[in-house]
Amino acid sequence: MLKALVYVRATIQVFLIFLWTAISGILGMVLMLITRNGQWVHYVEGRYIFCPPVLAIARVKLKVTGLEHIDRSSPCIYVSNHVSHLDVVAIAKAIPIGLFYIGKKELKRVPVLGQYMYLIGHIFIDRKNREKAMSSMRKAAQIIANGKNVITFPEGTRSKDGTTGVFKRGTFIIAQEGKIDIMPIAVVNAENILPRDAFIIQPGTIEVRIGKRIRAEEFAGMNAEQTAELVRSRVIQLIASSHS
């Protein structure tokens, strides 16, 4: 009986989250058509419209540390580990600026969400086509050059066991070519609240830890693989660190 109640509650939660995602996406597209400012719209959506109700429905609290490391005047690439569907929600609520995501092209086909992401200006990447993928990454570099911030999950997919996988090269090739700073982020405990392939959301607290900016000068003499490993090590350090 208890298992049945848990399943019913989880089903209601998922339904409400999907419903609110659709409503928020439509509202976001309307705001975009009015303002023509994708960065502002996505900031407002993440901080005030979409994320707070989703976290409330999921019974998830958010803790954020390291906000003092953010420099609004100097755009960069934000790089995060990826352990749960809730990572995006937590980061969008935690980071007080509009971040443009680089997501797999399959997201374009998701009703409402895909149209919202396209209209706002998020970047879609074809992970099966290296040439097209690099073209998308260079588009991200141009966005940053125009004063906007981009976020990537260079593992490419959610971790199966919560550990931080190998970071793929694409993000770091562009960071080197464009001499773009990198901001490491760690999402902690999301894998315990909503693990990969799980359906039931466990109540709890997700922590978003923001690390110190990695200046382009720090990896100027490295290749893409070395830069990827440098940033990965900083993310792992953030995950292992203790913030009281």
Residue whose pair of structure tokens reads 């562009």 in the numeric block: 174
Q: Give the per-residue pLDDT at 41.
A: 93
Number of domains the chain contains: 1
Predicted local distance difference test score (pLDDT) of residue 124? 84
CA separation (Å) from 43 to 13, 19, 49, 94, 199? 24, 20, 9, 10, 28
Contact 88, 195 (CB under 8 A): no
Hey, what are 122's tokens? 């998020």
Which residue range(s) make up the domain with 27? 2-240
* Residue ranges in the chain whose pLDDT is less than 70: 1-2, 242-244
Residue 244: per-residue pLDDT: 40
Task: Give the pLDDT score at 1.
Answer: 67
pLDDT tens, position by position, 18-31 = 999 999 999 999 99
Contacts of 146 (CB under 8 A, 6+ apart): none
Q: What is the CATH number of the domain that holds 232?
A: 3.40.1130
Q: Are the C-beta atoms of 123 and 139 separated by less than 8 Å? A: yes
